[in-house]
Structure 1
């Protein structure tokens, strides 16, 4: 998972997607042909999780919120879309396609309910969207999805019988609140000590390291749980279809909201990307600690990531084509007859 800072660094989406595929293949092969080594890797995910969590929170910027106070209307629109409408759509899609596979359905619901807090900004910038306003959504999206995580699980997946709200609260405290405080403290301390320019270099290093840490985590998941995952391999075609249908419906949603609310093109792009992109890496970390020993749930989250990058790339092309049509129409109106 990559973060775009105020200087506009782009996320390496293609690199992350390729690393995920390679990690799945290597992890599955290790787990299948060298099960002892695979289990050894699978039993040592805690350090990888903490590293990933630290990198995610280290790159969060809170200072941009005050600068975007004039865009309160858009922020409210994005919150309603991401945390009310989109989870309902996601639950409907997951129920339609995966109701007979409850663990995979739980993984899909978790994937669908969590808006991205990072790489959507890279695609927003590439599409000519409002990146500065998008940065203001990062801490909002992250805080709300962590707070709502146990609520969504209780509402949408009560039949699993695996969710203990008290356990989730304790997990969020020890695995996310405390690491977040430590990472954000380090963030501001290094910014103060190093200065803006040298600190930006630190963020660049963190950005480049993050996809490799995610890939290592995915490799460990598949290495330690390949038997359970392969036992359900024939269901993954339906899972991928579910993700595709979800992306189609959320694109329609973003277009309807943008037209009804008369959003300008930069905000239109931002809304489309924040609705489309999901926060699978963070939710993978939360779920592995809150719901341990559920490889099918984890696999559903990883599979969602594989479809997400091609989808965001296609959205970028569609939005740029829309911008060109709008520009051509404006030029035709302004030109003398």
Structure 2
């Protein structure tokens, strides 16, 4: 999300509420839970559409101006983080949980990280330019990760869902981008910004609706092994701790300026759970545990991003402190 990012505490509470609500409905009224589960597919279409509608396509020239931080961001997100994610996911007790957590880990965020970057005083221009690049890379690499980390069977499942995925993502993306073009031709910049901001603010609520449907329709499967999901939260926490210190070390070695450092920290910390949830729900429709693991990752992510935002802001205050004037005798 961009300028319309709701407060992280509220967003985390919203997702927690969605999990509890979906779980209660699925447990106490299974028929209603089944009905709610059946609306996940259209909600995923809506989610994909709003994600593409709010996609930032401007500022691509910043990629040339900030080649070092762009190269570091792509290198860490698509080379270093997979090397971190693989051994951490091995701590989980089941293949489905490992796959869900890996899918969550391996996709860098393409929306709300920019809001946190802005709050931390980071380079949002380059961050906006990274969004379409990283979204394209993670979608292209998705079947590769399935093949490497889940084996041929999952890759085959993805391959059989290929035409469906094409329909599900090309159609809403085309509609969303066409609407953006129509807006550009018919509306002023101020009105366009207000519309995009309003849609942006709606994204967490769409995600929450998807979460309600997933948990309402699959709570019995999820509750069959509660202890395993506690391991998911622990592994996600360890992942964020490790990636934070890796980012700190790389920023120091590369001698990044503060704004670049803040951008690298945020883009390597935030994960793209909404898009991966959408892709996985379509590519692996009979794997509710995988989808639930992706959702649970967000419960750790938002508090983590809030903490590092405060850490970075404190550092920025020290970096930007003006020098004392020379004393006169």
Q: How does 1:128-147 map to 2 (within 5 A)?
A: 128-147=121-140
For 1:157, the equivalent position in structure 2 comes to 150
For 2:264, the equivalent position in structure 1 comes to 271
In the alignment, which of 234, 246, 252 is matched to residue 241 of structure 1?
Answer: 234
Tell me, yes or no, if structure 1 residue 282 matches structure 2 residue 286: no
For 1:331, the equivalent position in structure 2 comes to 323
**Structure 1 gap segments, 5+ residues each:** none
For 2:97, the equivalent position in structure 1 comes to 104
Secondary structure of the residue aligned to 1:201 is: helix
Q: How does 1:112-191 map to 2 (within 5 A)?
A: 112-158=105-151, 161-164=153-156, 165-191=158-184
Q: How does 1:1-337 map to 2 (within 5 A)?
A: 3-4=1-2, 8-95=3-90, 97-98=91-92, 100-158=93-151, 161-164=153-156, 165-327=158-320, 331=323
Query: 1:14, CA displacement in angstroms?
Result: 2.7
8 Å Cα contact 1:163-1:291 kept in structure 2: no
Farther off after superposition, 174-183 or 208-217: 174-183
Query: 1:178, CA displacement in angstroms?
Result: 2.8
Secondary structure of the residue aligned to 2:313 is: helix
Task: Map Cα deviations across residues 54-79 of structure 1 (whole Å, 9 max, x no partner).
Answer: 00000112122134421122211111
Task: Map Cα deviations across residues 276-302 of structure 1 (whole Å, 9 max, x no partner).
Answer: 000001100000000011111011001
Farther off after superposition, 285-294 or 193-202: 193-202
Secondary structure of the residue aligned to 1:331 is: coil
Secondary structure of the residue aligned to 1:163 is: helix
Secondary structure of the residue aligned to 2:185 is: helix
Secondary structure of the residue aligned to 1:162 is: helix
Give the CA RMSD over aligned residues. Answer: 1.7
Task: Map Cα deviations across residues 175-205 of structure 1 (whole Å, 9 max, x no partner).
Answer: 1123212211111111211121111121122
The TM-score, its normalising length taken from structure 1, stands at 0.92
Change (3 A) 1:172 1:76: farther
Secondary structure of the residue aligned to 2:155 is: coil
Cα distance in structure 2, aligned partners of 1:202 and 1:283: 25
Secondary structure of the residue aligned to 1:25 is: helix
The TM-score, its normalising length taken from structure 2, stands at 0.95
Task: Map Cα deviations across residues 111-130 of structure 1 (whole Å, 9 max, x no partner).
Answer: 00000001111111111111
Change (3 A) 1:34 1:9: closer
Secondary structure of the residue aligned to 2:108 is: coil
Cα distance in structure 1, aligned partners of 2:176 and 2:319: 43
Change (3 A) 1:293 1:200: same
State how many pairs are aligned: 327
8 Å Cα contact 1:11-1:119 kept in structure 2: no
Task: Map Cα deviations across residues 211-241 of structure 1 (whole Å, 9 max, x no partner).
Answer: 1111110000000000000111111221111
Change (3 A) 1:9 1:20: closer
Task: Map Cα deviations across residues 27-54 of structure 1 (whole Å, 9 max, x no partner).
Answer: 0000000000101111221110101100
Cα distance in structure 2, aligned partners of 1:260 and 1:240: 31
Cα distance in structure 2, aligned partners of 1:162 and 1:156: 9
